[in-house]
Amino acid sequence: MSGKVFRSVKELKGLSLKNCPAMPWPGGVLMCAPDHYDVVDVKNPFMAGHVGRVDRALARRQWEAVKAAFEAEGKEVSLIEPQPRLEDMVFCANPIFAGLDSKGKPVCVLGHMRHPSRRREVPAFEAWFRERGYRIAKIKDPGVLFEGAGDALWHPGKRLIWGGHGFRSQPEAYASVAEAFDAPVILLKLVNERFYHLDTCFCPLTPESVLVYPSAFDGESLELILKMFPVVLTASEPDAVRAMACNAAVLDGKTALIQKGAEGVKRHMQVMGLKVVELETSEFVKSGGSVYCMKSFLY
């Protein structure tokens, strides 16, 4: 099943969590300081009405608090140098997707972003990961879009990748992703433009449980989620939209770093045994990102 892309429950025959090999948890995160962060145009619905309205000082304090929260949970935070005129570079999840191949070697798949302003971020991330010994892989067809860990998420503790498509990444990208990591990919189609990346509506919590906003997916994708996860928790619309609750960063299946105010999701996470750390990321939500978007997991 390694390196195969699955699109439907029917195709899943023979694939289960039991026969997916174990995958080490990320050891740290990569972040980028918000030196040049701003909302300069509208790339997603969250940005509407926020052009030129970022409080830079507040954004810096919020970013520092997120960084400190990762460190407090024992995750080393590495930094990439922010670049002028790359206002979205603070969202480190999108330009690349990192992980380990079947031999345990680190791999970085480069994104090919939909928006030209974000494509300019990728070379800096490529250089950073190359210098640290990651094998660099690319989507084979240069015309196919792929938005890194915004749309590609590892199943907790397993060599299994979930791949979102519909608004940013294209399904054709995932054959290259599956090959790069020698890992299966399950495709999920996004159908609600507000949830333009998979990480805005799909948050794996533990190997057995996931948090989703169901209206973000088509029916076939919901069937795939229900088939693979024994426990599927749902976020309310207020939690999913106003607090971007599904954009939480879950560490080692034990701790969730989440935007403050998502009370329903907070209770769900606590019932699953997770420690919940609430953070304020309101300045970044203006761009359609929260804690998960503000880092890239490192292996």
Residue 189 lies in a domain: yes
**Contact yes or no for 219/226 (Cβ under 8 A):** no
Between residues 25 and 14, the one the model is more confident about:
25
Amino acid identity of residue 171, one-letter, is P
Which helix (DSSP H) or strand (DSSP E) does residue 269 occupy?
A: helix 263-271
Q: Which residues touch 239 (CB under 8 Å, ≥6 apart)?
A: 245, 262, 263, 264, 265
Helix (H) or strand (E) holding 222: helix 219-228
Q: Is residue 18 part of a domain?
A: no
Confidence of residue 2 (pLDDT cuts 50, 70, 90): confident
Residue 193 lies in domain? 5-13+24-298
Return the SS3 of 284.
helix
How many other CB atoms sit within 10 Å of the CB of residue 151? 32
From CA 95, how far away is CA 151, in angstroms rounded? 11
What pLDDT does residue 1 have? Answer: 67
CATH number at residue 245: 3.75.10.10
Residue 22 confidence (pLDDT) above 90: yes
* Dihedral pair phi/psi, residue 217, rounded to 5°: -115, 155
For residue 161, pLDDT over 70 is answered with yes
Size of the chain, expressed as the number of residues it contains: 299
Instruction: Find where tokens 């599904």 sit.
Output: 246
Rounded Cα gap, residues 235 and 212, in angstroms: 6
For the stretch 175-220, pLDDT in tens is 999 999 999 999 999 999 999 999 999 999 999 999 999 999 999 9
Gap between the Cα atoms of 211 and 95, Å rounded: 24
pLDDT per residue as tens digits for the range 234-286:
999 999 999 999 999 999 999 999 999 999 999 999 999 999 999 999 999 99
Task: HSE, CB side, 13 Å, CA atoms: give it for residue 57.
Answer: 0
- Domain annotation covers residue 228: yes
- Grade residue 127 by pLDDT with cuts at 50, 70 and 90: very high
How many domains would you assign to the chain? 1
Residue 19, domain member (yes or no): no
Catalytic residues: 197, 293
Token output for 203: 């948050």
**Per-residue pLDDT for 152 more than 80?**
yes
3-state secondary structure of 224: helix
Average pLDDT, the chain: 97
Q: Who contacts 249 (Cβ-Cβ below 8 Å, separation ≥6)?
A: 29, 70, 256, 257, 258, 291, 292, 295
Do residues 294 and 281 make contact, with C-beta atoms less than 8 angstroms apart? yes
